[in-house]
Amino acid sequence: MSTTYSLFAVLIGIGSVTGIESVTGVLRLQEPAREFYYASAAGTVVYDPGISLSDKVTKGQVLLTYIGLPEQSERTVNARSEGYIEYVNEALSDGERIDVGEMLYKVKSNRIFGWYQINGLKPGSFEVNSQLWVCKKHNMPWRFNIDAVQSDGVLVSSLYRAQQYSYLYAMSQQKLVMYYNKRDCLNSIQ
């Protein structure tokens, strides 16, 4: 099983826009991670909570319970992280049989990561666990968390809803100004 990653770009520099501290440049976003859930034993489904495509799931949420063969033990499949259902095996309903190794679900993470490569990054310009904000007219402010800082760039992450990925993709395809705080971000679009 292999995972394919896409990178998107946006150019970065540090500066000031009308007295407001900002960052401008190119961001590389990574395709969201996906988790695959397989049956660890053959068995019969005894509890199907009715999960559908695009449903949000939380870490620890029960996705399915089945009785494994031949030992007749109950097995529960729990979500290992938060995300959105991207695939549901059509045979998952109460009383249906599943085979060992059969794919049950695919969950797409609700966290996206990106890397800012910044020319001339000065030490102390960014701090881990701080935030950068993006504001575009007619859209909501978007928060990126700073997860790591290195001499040549900043690793950022953001939570998103399933239908928002296309917005992030479009945003990453153009020159992008980011702000150190939400207030400055909102003031930039007024």
Domain boundary among 55, 82, 109: 109
Maximum Cα–Cα distance for the chain, whole Å?
70
pLDDT 10s digits, 148-160? 998 878 899 999 8
Q: Which two tokens stand for residue 71?
A: 């030992």
Of 71, 88, 109, the last residue of a domain is 109
Asked if 32 contacts 109 with a C-beta cutoff of 8 angstroms, the reply is yes
Q: Are 117 and 153 in contact (CB under 8 A)?
A: yes
d(CA 15, CA 75): 55
DSSP type of residue 168: H
Give residue 66's domain range: 34-109
**Domain C-terminal end among 60, 86, 109:** 109
Whether residues 99 and 151 share a domain: the answer is: no
Is residue 47, in this structure, part of any structural domain at all? yes
Residues 85 and 104 occupy one common structural domain: yes
Domain total of the chain:
2
pLDDT of residue 173: 67
Q: Please list the pLDDT of the chain residue by residue as tens digits (190 residues).
A: 433 333 333 334 444 444 558 877 778 888 889 999 999 999 999 999 999 999 999 999 999 999 998 888 999 999 999 999 999 999 899 999 999 999 999 999 999 998 877 766 777 888 999 999 988 777 788 899 999 998 878 899 999 887 787 778 777 766 778 888 999 999 888 7
Order of strands across the sheet with 43-47?
73-78, 62-68, 43-47, 97-98
Instruction: Specify the pTM.
Output: 0.74
Q: Which of 57, 63, 81, 80 is nearest to 161 (CA)?
A: 57
DSSP string, 32-94: PPEEEEE-SS-EEEEE-----TT-EE-TT-EEEEEEETTTTEEEEEE-SS-EEEEEE-TT-ST
3-state secondary structure at position 188: helix
**Which SS3 state, helix, strand or coil, does residue 24 take?**
strand
**pLDDT, tens digit, 9 for 90 and up, residues 83-126:** 999 999 998 999 999 999 999 999 999 999 988 777 667 778 88
Would you say residue 178 lies in a domain?
Answer: yes
Residue 155 domain-assigned (yes or no)? yes
| 101 and 47 belong to one structural domain | yes
Examine residue 71 and state whether it is found in any structural domain, yes or no: yes
Q: Which two tokens stand for residue 15?
A: 């500066």
Q: Report d(CA 31, CA 44) in Å as an integer.
A: 34
The verdict on 93 and 117 lying in the same domain is: no
138 and 102 belong to one structural domain: no
Any idea what the CATH number is for the domain that residue 129 is in?
2.40.30
